[in-house]
Amino acid sequence: MLRSTSAKFALLPALATAVALAPMALGAEKTIFPSFGKIERKDPRFDKIVPKDAHMEQLADGFDWSEGPVWIKDGGYLLFSDIPRNSVMKWKEGEGISLFMKPAGYTGVVDYGKEPGSNGLLLDPQGRVVFCEHGDRRVSRLEKDGGKKTLVDSYQGKRLNSPNDAVYKSNGDLYFTDPPYGLPKNFDDPRRELDFCGVYRLAKDGQVTLLTKDMTRPNGIAFSPDEKTLYVAQSDPAAAVWMAFDVKSDGTLGKGRVFFDSTSWAKAGKKGLPDGMDIDQAGNLFATGPGGVHVFAPDGTHLGSFETGEATANVAWGDDGSVLYITADMYLVRIKLNTKGKGM
């Protein structure tokens, strides 16, 4: 998602602030983190998902714009992007925050605007970290030797805008969104080679297919558990919606429908727009949007929300699969739930 505010802290003081929140006291069983935000319950089904005594915990702060969290099971830690700082950060229980990678999304030699870094992070079927990179305008993969391999950076000979978020289908195909938020001048950037914002599929054989170019600002993306539906967020303040597309047998998309419309929330002044999302094993959608993280049943009913009070970028399941990590502006947050993430 595009962010126009300037950095709040320099990198090193920010890290010091973040680490100070999360040291493990000698002999303590668990660090006690500050509570964060509030929970809104709207439907009885929400109570089965969110324990009555559940609360969000603030794990760290001081980031410029935190995004794209992904849980690394081997090692038991979380990675996430700090896009303006062109960095990927690491958080681990008992250790706090450390710098995992810099540069993370832009390797050029001149200034590249306010959002040059990586955005969405995910794991491929072999457990390798995959990056949606703004500045280098590609989707890449971290190799075992520490180098990066470009997976896709163009469509029909034209450079992508700035890949934003992605999800793997169980057959190994990668689906991703490509708005221009990472370009220095956004929609009006002279570097832009594609005159639309696409949703694409990168097949295992390397073929790139444009699935739709009808969304004005495609952003977060996720599959239903049965992979018959692809959800795509649209971070357009004039049409702040989540779309649901039927997935055809050949992997392309059929008819799309508005799954939920939050335009009124955005116009009412709630911070943020539809952005990153994830799914639990029951098919409930945990979607960042105006006001925080909203939980929707598969039928589109709004069950409840985790109100962060911040522009909230993305979510990811971690730990044993029942902990939802949330990147909300300058904060890293988590909440323990009664459900588990899809594939966990």
Encode pLDDT of 126-150 as tens digits: 999 999 999 999 999 999 999 999 9
Q: Cα torsion for 298, 302, 308, 314, to the nearest 10°?
A: 20
- How high is the pLDDT of residue 29? 56
- How high is the pLDDT of residue 31? 84
Separation CA 256–CA 226 (nearest Å): 17
Separation CA 273–CA 218 (nearest Å): 11
Give residue for tokens 């038991």: 76
Sign of CA dihedral 196, 140, 88, 291: positive
Looking at domain 11-336, its CATH architecture is 6 Propeller (2.120)
Q: Which two tokens stand for residue 159?
A: 């450079």
Give residue for tokens 């305008």: 137
In order of 101, 115, 194, the CA distances from 246 in angstroms are 37, 32, 25
97 strand-pairing partners: 91
- How high is the pLDDT of residue 241? 98
Separation CA 270–CA 48 (nearest Å): 26
In the predicted model, residues of the chain with pLDDT beneath 50 are: 4-28
Residues in contact with 199: Cβ distance below 8 Å, sequence separation at least 6, in sequence order: 175, 176, 177, 178, 210, 211, 212, 213, 215, 218, 221, 232, 253
- How high is the pLDDT of residue 17? 36
Q: Please answer whether residues 162 and 178 qualify as being in contact, where contact means their C-beta atoms are separated by less than 8 angstroms.
A: yes
- How high is the pLDDT of residue 16? 35
Sequence spans of domains, the chain: 11-336
